[in-house]
């Protein structure tokens, strides 16, 4: 099962809103289709959003070519990238991919030549994500598995194959640990309100025969306390220069539990998830989503329609609560304002 596929100029996205019950691919022939898919979380997870956005730029460039106004080509493309960028404000991989695509567009040539170069670039970004996932999985498994003991782990949301173009970030590490015979059990938080843990993570792990137990989010503290959890491992949507990390809402709470119970919290994220332009997590924009996501699920009401709601999609975990960040370039132990920038200077 592929999260996304580029075939003969069309981007096919596995519609994650339908999982795990239906496996339907959405054909995207226009950049607006991709933007819509990103907004409704048909494609989601920071790295997968970045790859999808790169292909959206190719679709946009094609549309701009068809318009036949060469003099406005780059300006039109830039405006479209801005619109794509606004689809999910927290996941910086989206911005990262769009910046790379625009830089490639800026290298000059006719609109047709630029479009051809953009397609090559998007394919390269896609391939890169695959390689990055594998490297992260190995570094993470070396670090978490160094005692040689079988581990009980807890994860939140979905940082798996469905959130990337490869084996996943946090779930990539878990897959590699499992391959090495080092996973005893993975507890998966269901992840309210959109249930990425229940619908996607449990589904992915079961498909790979990795032992998984689904819990509701409010069971996490008790599970950590009573089930011998060795470590928590999650993904990230944006990491500031001091290591403060935005991830799916609920991660901050987990980090507080982890601190109280002396359980290490690991983040697995590629370099493209770091935003070294911001000094700390207070500068990370937190996406707030439609209130109906909290009042209901798949059309079934859980509260009165007029119930006031707060629906932040992400929270920020302070770097002090993070034991280490696993990247494709190695591990950042005890991330802070010194260790994170130093790591990227090498
Ligand atoms: O709202 P989502 O489903 O896009 O949120 C996804 C997460 O928070 C993931 O943990 C994060 O993007 C890392 S994915 C490898």
How do residues 4-37 score in pLDDT, each as one tens digit? Answer: 999 999 999 999 999 999 999 999 999 999 999 9
Q: Give the residue whose CA is nearest to atom 6 of ligand 1.
A: 45
Ligand 1 atom closest to the Cα of residue 247 is 8
- The answer to whether the CB of 289 is under 6 A from ligand 1 is no
**Residue 37: φ, ψ to 5°:** -65, -35
- Contact criterion met (CB below 8 Å) for 13 and 26: yes
Give catalytic residue positions.
237
State both tokens at 23.
């496996």
Q: Could you tell me which residues are beta bridge partners of residue 267?
A: 234, 325
- The answer to whether the CB of 196 is under 6 A from ligand 1 is yes
Supply the angle between the helices 111-144 and 73-85 in degrees, to the nearest 10: 30
Token pair 């079961």 in the structure block, residue:
206
- Residue 70 is predicted with a pLDDT of 85
The alpha helices in the chain, defined as continuous H runs, are 31-39, 46-67, 73-85, 92-105, 111-144, 170-179, 196, 202-207, 220-226, 251-260, 292-295, 339-345
- The answer to whether the CB of 163 is under 6 A from ligand 1 is yes
Q: Give the residue whose CA is nearest to atom 13 of ligand 1.
A: 235
* 115 CB-near residues (< 8 Å, 6+ apart): 58, 61, 62, 65
Ligand 1 atom closest to the Cα of residue 196 is 3
- Contact criterion met (CB below 8 Å) for 276 and 243: no
Q: What is the DSSP string of 71-110?
A: GGHHHHHHHHHHHHHTTSSS-HHHHHHHHHHHHHHTT-S-
State both tokens at 96.
């990262």
Supply the angle between the helices 111-144 and 170-179 in degrees, to the nearest 10: 50
Q: Which helix (H) or strand (E) holds 316?
A: strand 314-317
Give per-residue pLDDT as tens, 71-119: 999 999 999 999 999 999 999 999 999 999 999 999 999 999 999 999 9
Ligand 1 pocket test target in 248, 254, 255, 266 with most atoms within 8 Å of CB? 248
Distance CA 81, CA 236 (A): 22
Distance 186 CA to ligand 1 centre (A): 18
pTM: 0.96
3-state secondary structure of 114: helix
- Residue 266 is predicted with a pLDDT of 98
Distance 61 CA to ligand 1 centre (A): 28
- The answer to whether the CB of 87 is under 6 A from ligand 1 is no
Q: Count CB neighbours of 78 within 10 A.
A: 13
Ligand 1 atom closest to the Cα of residue 49 is 4
- The answer to whether the CB of 245 is under 6 A from ligand 1 is no
Ligand 1 atom closest to the Cα of residue 47 is 15
**Residue 86: φ, ψ to 5°:** -80, -10
Q: Provide the residue count of the chain.
A: 346
Distance 115 CA to ligand 1 centre (A): 29
Q: Which helix (H) or strand (E) holds 132?
A: helix 111-144
Distance 56 CA to ligand 1 centre (A): 19
Give Cα 328 distance to the centre of its chain: 15
- The answer to whether the CB of 136 is under 6 A from ligand 1 is no
- Residue 188 is predicted with a pLDDT of 98
pLDDT in tens, the chain (346 residues): 899 999 999 999 999 999 999 999 999 999 999 999 999 999 999 999 999 999 999 999 999 999 888 899 999 999 999 999 999 999 999 999 999 999 999 999 999 999 999 999 999 999 999 999 999 999 999 999 999 999 999 999 999 999 999 999 999 999 999 999 999 999 999 999 999 999 999 999 999 999 999 999 999 999 999 999 999 999 999 999 999 999 999 999 999 999 999 999 999 999 999 999 999 999 999 999 999 999 999 999 999 999 999 999 999 999 999 999 999 999 999 999 999 999 999 7
* 60 CB-near residues (< 8 Å, 6+ apart): 31, 76, 77, 80, 81, 84
The alpha helices in 9-45, defined as continuous H runs, are 31-39
Per-residue burial over 309-321, b = 16 or more CB atoms within 10 Å of its CB, e = otherwise = eeeebbbbbbbeb
Ligand 1 pocket test target in 13, 14, 17, 45 with most atoms within 8 Å of CB? 45
Ligand 1 atom closest to the Cα of residue 287 is 1
């Amino acid at each position: 099962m592929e999260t996304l596929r580029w075939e003969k100029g069309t981007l096919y996205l596995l519609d994650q809103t339908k999982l795990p019950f239906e496996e339907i691919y959405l054909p995207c022939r226009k950049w607006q289709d991709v933007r819509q898919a990103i907004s409704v979380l048909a494609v989601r997870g920071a790295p997968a959003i970045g790859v999808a956005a790169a292909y959206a730029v190719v679709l946009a460039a094609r549309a701009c070519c068809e318009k036949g106004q060469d003099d406005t080509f780059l300006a039109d493309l830039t405006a479209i990238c801005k619109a794509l960028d606004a689809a999910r404000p927290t996941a910086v991989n989206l911005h990262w991919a769009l910046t790379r695509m625009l830089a490639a567009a800026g290298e000059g040539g006719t609109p047709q030549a630029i479009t051809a170069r953009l397609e090559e670039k998007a394919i390269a970004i896609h391939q890169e994500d695959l390689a990055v996932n594998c490297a992260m999985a190995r570094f993470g498994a070396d670090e978490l598995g160094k005692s040689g003991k079988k581990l009980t782990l807890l994860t939140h949301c979905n940082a798996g194959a469905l959130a990337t173009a490869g084996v996943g970030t946090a779930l990539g590490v878990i897959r590699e640990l499992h391959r090495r015979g080092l996973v005893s059990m993975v507890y998966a938080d269901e992840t309210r309100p959109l249930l990425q843990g229940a619908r996607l993570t449990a589904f992915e792990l079961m498909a790979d025969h990795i032992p998984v137990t689904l819990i509701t989010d409010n069971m996490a503290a008790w599970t950590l306390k009573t089930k011998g959890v060795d470590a928590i491992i999650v993904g990230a949507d944006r990491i500031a220069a001091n290591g403060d990390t935005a991830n799916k809402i609920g991660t901050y709470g987990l980090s507080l539990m982890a601190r109280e119970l002396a359980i290490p919290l690991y983040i697995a994220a590629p370099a493209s998830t770091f935003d070294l332009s911001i000094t700390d997590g207070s500068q990370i924009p937190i996406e707030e989503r439609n209130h109906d996501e909290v009042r209901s699920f798949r059309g079934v009401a859980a509260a009165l329609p007029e119930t006031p709601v707060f629906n932040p999609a992400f929270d920020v975990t302070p770097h002090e609560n993070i034991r280490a960040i696993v990247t494709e370039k190695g591990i950042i132990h005890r991330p802070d304002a010194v260790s994170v920038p130093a790591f990227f200077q090498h």
